[in-house]
Amino acid sequence: MNDSTGLQVDDLSVEFGAVTALNHVSCEFPASGISGLLGPNGAGKTTLLNVVSGFQVPSSGSVRVNGSDLAADGIRARVLSGVVRTFQTVRLLEKETVFDNVALGCEGLQRHSPLRQVLGIGKGRAARRRDHDVTIDALAMVGLGSLAQRMPAELPYAKRRLVEIARAIAGSPKVLLLDEPMAGMDREARLALLDTLVEVQGSLGMTMVVVEHDIDMVRRLCTHVVVLAGGAFVAAGPPDEIVADPRVQATYFGAEDARHQ
């Protein structure tokens, strides 16, 4: 494995009965950078994220983060090892404050016994202070510091998405997987989120993988792109090279669109 690779998947296959969602996919995502994961609907993008994050057990293949094999790890173990994700649909606790939603992300940090934390004894007290500070920092990083005590239902969609991202980064992830974080946003909100993601990755230095369909946004956001189609690997490389690749034009843009790229 290359020292500059943060996330590596090797020979991943996922089968649902007669349907092959991933077909022997091997690809790498650089450490300390933002990678785009592209492909038409049904390409296997979300399935790949599910495998990496432990929500889906592959039929074959392996997942490595910074050289460590995660094959035996379940969802919680992967969170503790630094693999965190968001989903296509925002998932928040609607009866809890924005602060409390984001604080849940601290569960991925090394913790002391619940009793010690509740009673505020010794290291448990220090853990509670740390979690508070980490939550405040995560909210500030995504521009939600002034909304900490608001309820999620009071926020517009774009800010609800930011709450979810703040929760993800509160756990200090080594790998952050974002499944269509810009979906449902207008262009202004998408550009604002793009700037936020660049700042977050630059500040925390994690491997960030973003599923996104807007090629313009991918070019602005990513330095590396992986393309899937029909559950198979198609190509990987810098965004401009990928967009110009005939294989990508044929599978992602379609034959008609390819003639206009």
Domain boundary among 154, 171, 188: 171
Q: What is the pLDDT of residue 115?
A: 42
Q: Is residue 227 situated within a structural domain?
A: yes
Chain centre distance of CA 210: 6
**Which CATH number characterizes residue 179's domain?**
3.40.50.300
Residues in the chain predicted with pLDDT less than 70, given as ranges, are 1-4, 108-130, 252-261
**How far apart are alpha carbons 242 and 227 in whole angstroms?**
8
State how many domains the chain has.
2
Q: Is residue 90 situated within a structural domain?
A: no
Q: Is residue 138 situated within a structural domain?
A: yes
Tens of pLDDT, residue by residue over 140-171, are: 999 999 999 999 999 999 999 999 999 999 98
Tens of pLDDT, residue by residue over 21-48, are: 999 999 999 998 899 999 998 999 999 9
Q: Is residue 72 situated within a structural domain?
A: yes
Domain boundary among 171, 206, 225: 171
111 and 144 part of one domain: yes
134 and 251 part of one domain: no
Reported pTM:
0.88
124 and 59 part of one domain: no
Domain boundary among 152, 171, 190: 171
Q: What is the pLDDT of residue 109?
A: 58
Q: Is residue 224 situated within a structural domain?
A: yes
For residue 31 the two structure tokens come to 């450490």
Q: What is the pLDDT of residue 71?
A: 84
The residue range of the domain holding 180 is 1-82+173-261
Q: What is the pLDDT of residue 97?
A: 96
For residue 76 the two structure tokens come to 């919680």
Residue 169 · residue 204 · CB < 8 Å: yes
